[in-house]
Amino acid sequence: MSLPTTDEILDDLAFFDSWEERYKYIIDLGKALPAFPAELQTPDRLVKGCQSNVWLEIAGDNERIEFLVDSDAVIVKGLLVLVLAAYNNKSAQQILAFDIDAYFKQLDLERHISPTRGNGLKSIVARINSIAKAALA
Give the burial class of 99: count Cβ atoms within 10 A of its Cβ; 0-12 exposed, 13-18 middle, 19 or more buried.
exposed
User: What's the CA gap between 125 and 137, in Å, rounded?
Assistant: 18
Distances (CA, A) of 43 to 46, 54, 122: 5, 10, 19
Is 53 catalytic? The answer is no
Whole-angstrom Cα distance, residue 38 to residue 41? 5
The catalytically annotated residue of 9, 13, 29, 50 is: 50
Please list the active-site residues: 50
